[in-house]
Amino acid sequence: MQKILIIDDELFFREFVSDNLKTAGYSSIAASSGQEGLDILKREKGSVSVILLDIIMPDMDGLATLEKIKEIDPEIPVIMMTAHTDEELVLRALKNGAFDYLAKPLYIEELLLSAKRAFDHHRLVVQNKKKLKQLKNLEIGAQGLVELAKGSIRMEAVMENNKLLQATIDLIASVLEAEKVSMMLVDEEKKELRVVVANGLNLDLSTLPVRKLGEGIAGTVAERGEAVLIKDIKDTQGIKESGFAGQYKTGSFLCVPVKVMGKTIGVISVNDKLTGESFTDSDLTIMTTFSHQISLALENAMINADMERYIEKLSLLNETSKTLLSMVDPKEIFKAIVKKTREVLEVELCELLLSDETTGDLRFETGSGDKGELTQELTIKAGEGITGGVLQTGLMAVMDNAGDDKKYIPDIDGFPELKVRELICAPLKIKGKTLGVIRAANKKGKPGFSARDIEIMESIAAQSSIALKNAWLYKNLVSSLDEVAATNKELERVNMELKLKVKELELLKKGKG
């Protein structure tokens, strides 16, 4: 409870003022001299909100004491009191920072009114200082985030980079002057929240309970994407204390979502202010603002990473094009297509299927996976499954959850020893006719094929079609050259036989002559 410090050399007056303040609900502490008052102020700094100070006192008078008070705490309001009506003293006191002036003998109503005004003034000054300090901390924290997220970082790296996450919550603890801060990340597959980093928790994080989305405060914040302020959990209906609430000194806390690209990836919980006070709406505003800055910093870093990866893919795609166009052996081209596609798209497996010239069915040609080259016996008719549908329509198919699609046929669209999640199939066309299908499954890292992945797959399919066309032209050319060579050889043989026949006829003619 905040106190009023009474500094007066008269015992009766100190007790009179103290009793009346107590009756009005104020707590007070008294000093008989200026020096004693200064000693109390130093000892009780932070708990004294208003000072009642007599001007005329022995040893150290009120004006000298006022000067020393302002050195210790410039913001504390001091109400000067005196039985003398010396206007010069009063003006000097006000000029030196006194908040108000009361003439003795005091009127209780006037005393209480002045004390209330002083209390309200001090509260506003303290609140404004706190807000300014929080804003300064927020500025420092934002700069720290910029440094942390400089360059580029991939989404999967954010989820796995405990050093980055730890540094982030350490910044939050500094900004909000909180003893304990923790971050929980969302497991999309299991629909769960798990604590991954913490500041001030003396617990093994692996022992902390896992929350389901929608369960408890953190789970609700993660599911709804909305921040929550709890000023005292005991006064909040429908909310129970967690199993490790004993770690916390107060029942007040903040819980805010962390979003990246509009999607909630985690929740930050902030507990126990260093002052022991409850969190306020102002704290919630600061934390929400800081959460947005975290999101922006991570988004910018991930956009940079995405651009870098896209440039890398385009470079690799360019190299792929050069490689394919420099090859003439169809078998080598087929292997190169699936290998390069797997690398560029960052997938677990890629296969190439070509149309049979006689039946028109797709037949497995070659494949590439993390364990190397793939082989299998597989024939797919037009319209069968997702892959056969691409052959039939000549249109690309992209599935984020292929196994859930009604067109998906495991024996047709599946891969040996691989559970298919994402699937992308692109047609290989020559002069508008689909002569093959290239397909890739299971994106590594971030799930799902992006618009850029689809764009890259279209480019790969177009380049592969050109490479196939060149290979078949070369094959036909070689075949034609072989036929010409065989024909020439046959002509040479016939010419030789004719020469022999001519000689025989000439010999016969000479014999008859």
**How confident is residue 156, by pLDDT bands cut at 50, 70 and 90?**
very low
Q: What pLDDT does residue 416 have? A: 76
Tell me which CATH homologous superfamily contains domain 333-473. Answer: GAF domain (3.30.450.40)
Buried b (16+ CB within 10 A) or exposed e, 494-505: eeeeeeeeeeee
333-473: same fold as 3-128?
no
Provide the whole-model pTM.
Answer: 0.46
153 near 145, Cβ under 8 Å?
no
Please provide the CATH number assigned to the domain covering 149-305: 3.30.450.40
Q: Is the pLDDT of residue 329 over 90?
A: no
228-237, 317-326, 427-436: the lowest-pLDDT one: 317-326
Where is mean pLDDT largest: 34-38, 99-103, 119-123, 452-456? 34-38
**Helix 162-176 to helix 108-148 angle, to the nearest 10 degrees?**
160
CA atoms within 13 A on the CB side of 513: 6
> How far, in Å, CA of 423 to CA of 491, rounded?
55
> How far, in Å, CA of 121 to CA of 21, rounded?
18
Q: What pLDDT does residue 22 have? A: 92
What value does the mean pLDDT of the chain take?
A: 80
Longest dimension (CA), the chain: 174
Q: Is the pLDDT of residue 61 over 50?
A: yes
163 near 182, Cβ under 8 Å?
no
Where is mean pLDDT largest: 262-266, 320-324, 434-438? 434-438
Domain residue ranges in the chain: 3-128, 149-305, 333-473
Q: What pLDDT does residue 154 have? A: 45
Q: What pLDDT does residue 423 have? A: 92
269: tokens are: 């919980």
CATH number for 3-128: choose from 3.90.550.10, 3.40.50.300, 3.40.50.2300, 3.40.1190.20: 3.40.50.2300
The residue with greater pLDDT, 113 or 251, is 113
434: tokens are: 């689909």
Candidates 313, 296, 390, 321; CA nearest to 347 is 313
252-261, 388-397, 489-498: the lowest-pLDDT one: 489-498
pLDDT tens sequence across 392-411:
999 999 998 888 888 999 88
Q: What is the mean pLDDT of residues 277-303?
A: 75
Q: What pLDDT does residue 155 have? A: 43
